[in-house]
Structure 1
Amino acid sequence: MPIARRTDAVLLLVALVWGSSYLAAKTATAALPVLVVLFARYAISALACGALVAFGRRGRRFTRDEVRTGSVLGVTQAAVLVLETYGVAHTSAANAGLIISLTIVLTPLMDRSAGRRLPATFFLAAGLCVLAVGLLSSSTGLHVPRLGDALMLAAAVVRAGHVALVGRLTAGRSVDPLRLTSVQTVVGSALFLPAALGHLPDLAHGSVTTWTQLVYLALFCSVFAFLAQTQAVQRTSASRASLLLGTEPIWAVAIGFGLGGERLTLWAALGAVLMIAGTYWGQAIERTHRAAAQTVKEDPARRTTTPVSA
């Protein structure tokens, strides 16, 4: 029991850290250009991952699969962070955390590894999330969605594609998660370096507060969160881990309103409730659907008795 409780606590801490990343990114982008913030985040992460690799397993070289897969995923991950960071710079941290949680219901639409059509109830849950996005983007009255909300919506779509791509490229391949992450951070650093070169003096002379936020985004929201998540998932069920990590938007809302001083309107509150309910509902449906598909795969004799949709 103590180990299970510690594992749950670690997963909740990861969700909390990710939920807090939106306010940290929003504050950092108020002091520095978005692409400079991204370069600093990637560069610090790359240094940290490089140190962990160097002191972890000496003598082992990066495999071709790790380099090739990490390079591709580094590009898609960079695209996600560009949209996320520009998005959070133009909307509230709470909205950003809620809208990006659409990834939970968008990923199964792009990842068809389960091999069966998703049940109709899943699309109802996805529709509930779309309605929630509409309420969040019009929280101060009916109007065209704000730029930041639209960018976060695009980030959710690209992140879902990135997650599906991770599963597709790593399936059946022997890749070390830390080394894969290291390659991605190096690729991201290289991509954002040209845009950041002209602003490096501003970065070097950044305030203590700005550097604290950059280090927090790199070491805690990237390196620590990934490694802690990987280790914790190995000690618990995927369903339980998914449930605990799914609290990320709740933390994003709490931190945005509690520490960021953001205003909660009635429409925003309703949108937040619908978003959390829709993502949890969709998550539960997809989890049940995947388990049923796996059962049929392992026991083809049950194919005629297992319903196609739930």
Structure 2
Amino acid sequence: MPPARRTDAVLLLVAIVWGSSYLAAKSATSAHPVLIVLFARYAISVLACLALVAARPRPRPGSRHRPWRLNRNEARAGTLLGLTQAAVLVLETYGVAHTSAANAGLIISLTVVLTPLLDRSAPGGRLPPRFFAAAGVCVLAVGLLMGTTGLQAPRSGDLLMLAAAVVRAAHVALVGRLSAGRDLRPLQLTTCQTAIGTALFLPYACASGGLADLAHAPVGDWLQLVHLALFCSVFAFLAQTWAVQRTSASRASLLLGTEPVWAVTIGMVVGGERLGVLTATGAALMVAGTYWGQSIERSHRTDPKEVAPCPTSPPPPATTPTSV
């Protein structure tokens, strides 16, 4: 397989894995409390990250290079980002437990248009009016998705996913600010964040008896937890980092931006969910609005007429991860 196609295949696989995370999380939270699911996901993830760090080549005797140790910037950023990431996952996991996997995957994609609004450090200055038009399309889509229950109040899960989209956008903007001009290694940063998340949920897991429940959980439950931890977290993040270094940001965004489509597809095919007229219309508008907004923001940021060179600014992220 040519290198370009291999890279595209990896990015598409990441989008599929992220799209599957909503149904997996919904299934896991139907059998176990949300905070127990989050503890298990974090604990499995941190063990995998530690194993990867330990597998790195050891330095030569006398060398000051310690690849398995966190530097000061990684420790500070990892601690803060670990807290914000945990907040995002709490909102997302509670949200998907009280709405459909399809709705969860669509509403959380609002992060794509919310992040540029919150990221003051991004080059390019004020966004053009057409970006706000794209954001308006996404807001209309959310209204349609939340209106699937008719004239009743929207489902609590939809509101939680909306809150998660806002918090995740702030989290991503914080990632950009903390990583600007700093030496942050992805694996070490991910390890620190997962360790923080594990520590946060460990007291509840011990006090609630959740550890005993996990020990006696059926194989199917463990497969869902392992899928969320190893594939939707560790693999997806590292694979994305590897792939975006080998292709253009535009192409990576296009492929990774198919995540909500996969969330809907997997929710319908595997989870047996159904889309009504309002939901289908909202889904189409959400996908169109996020793609449109992403395209506008990317072209505005990279337009040489609008963006002055800034040698100290980090390269823009290829996309915003939005999986549960």
Q: Same-fold call, TM > 0.5?
A: yes
- The one-letter code matched in structure 1 to 2:271 is G
1:41 is aligned to 2:41: yes
User: Which of structure 1's runs of 4+ aligned residues deviate more than 6 A?
Assistant: none
Query: Contact 1:114–1:294 at 8 Å: present in 2 too?
Result: no
In the alignment, the residues of structure 1 paired with residue 164 and residue 305 of structure 2 have an alpha-carbon distance, to the nearest angstrom, of 30
Query: Contact 1:114–1:293 at 8 Å: present in 2 too?
Result: no
Tell me what 2:113 maps to. Answer: 105
1:209 is aligned to 2:220: yes
Tell me what 1:136 maps to. Answer: 145
Change (3 A) 1:293 1:107: farther
3-state SS of the aligned residue for 1:260? coil
Tell me what 1:126 maps to. Answer: 135
1:74 is aligned to 2:85: no
Tell me what 1:306 maps to. Answer: none
Tell me what 1:91 maps to. Answer: 99
Tell me what 1:231 maps to. Answer: 242
1:288 is aligned to 2:302: no
Query: Contact 1:140–1:267 at 8 Å: present in 2 too?
Result: no
In the alignment, the residues of structure 2 paired with residue 66 and residue 107 of structure 1 have an alpha-carbon distance, to the nearest angstrom, of 22
- Can you give the 5+ residue segments of structure 1 that lack an aligned partner in the other structure? 300-310
Q: 1:254 aligns with which of 254, 261, 265?
A: 265
How many residue pairs were aligned? 299
Deviation string 1:106-164 (CA, Å, 9 cap, x unpaired) is 00001122141000000011011011011011113122211000000000000000000
TM-score normalized by the length of structure 2:
0.90
In the alignment, the residues of structure 2 paired with residue 40 and residue 294 of structure 1 have an alpha-carbon distance, to the nearest angstrom, of 49
Q: 1:187 aligns with which of 189, 196, 221?
A: 196
Tell me what 2:318 maps to. Answer: none
Tell me what 1:56 maps to. Answer: 56
- Can you give the 5+ residue segments of structure 2 that lack an aligned partner in the other structure? 60-65, 311-324
- The one-letter code matched in structure 2 to 1:111 is D
Change (3 A) 1:186 1:294: farther
Tell me what 1:167 maps to. Answer: 176
In the alignment, the residues of structure 2 paired with residue 14 and residue 296 of structure 1 have an alpha-carbon distance, to the nearest angstrom, of 31
Query: Contact 1:107–1:163 at 8 Å: present in 2 too?
Result: yes
In the alignment, the residues of structure 2 paired with residue 73 and residue 124 of structure 1 have an alpha-carbon distance, to the nearest angstrom, of 31
Percent of matched pairs sharing the same residue: 73
3-state SS of the aligned residue for 1:56? coil
